[in-house]
Amino acid sequence: MSDAVVTSKSERTRPLPSLSLYIANAPQGCFSGGPSNGTPQASYLWLYERAARQQWCPIPASVRMMAEETGLSKSAVQAAIVSLQRNELIATERANATAVPQHRVLWHWRAKARPRG
């Protein structure tokens, strides 16, 4: 399976790590505990893509920003974030109560990967 390529006017072309295999083979309950309509998956993929573009640095993203860019409602994004945090797919930090949260994408499938041979 080849890696996807991100192209943008301000960035050079560079490969993104393959995520489709993880999504396809994710444990049954990996995205559970929240909305069952695909909102956690869409939110995770949005954060994953942003993190890849920023060389895996934490992503500053408010619920409003994520809702506007994904086309989801703010309440759906908020529920998805809680679900992703509970399932340890993202870690979120805030400098204070009113600061824009910094979301870090966690790569559980890479930590468990073992060399073949």
- Indicate whether this model's pTM tops 0.85: no
Domain 27-108 architecture: Orthogonal Bundle (1.10)
Long-range contacts of 81-85 (CB under 8 A, 24+ apart): 81/43, 82/34, 83/31, 83/32, 83/33, 83/34, 83/35, 83/40, 84/31, 84/34, 84/40, 84/43, 84/44, 84/47
pLDDT tens readout for residues 24-75:
445 445 555 545 567 888 898 899 999 989 998 999 999 999 999 999 999 9
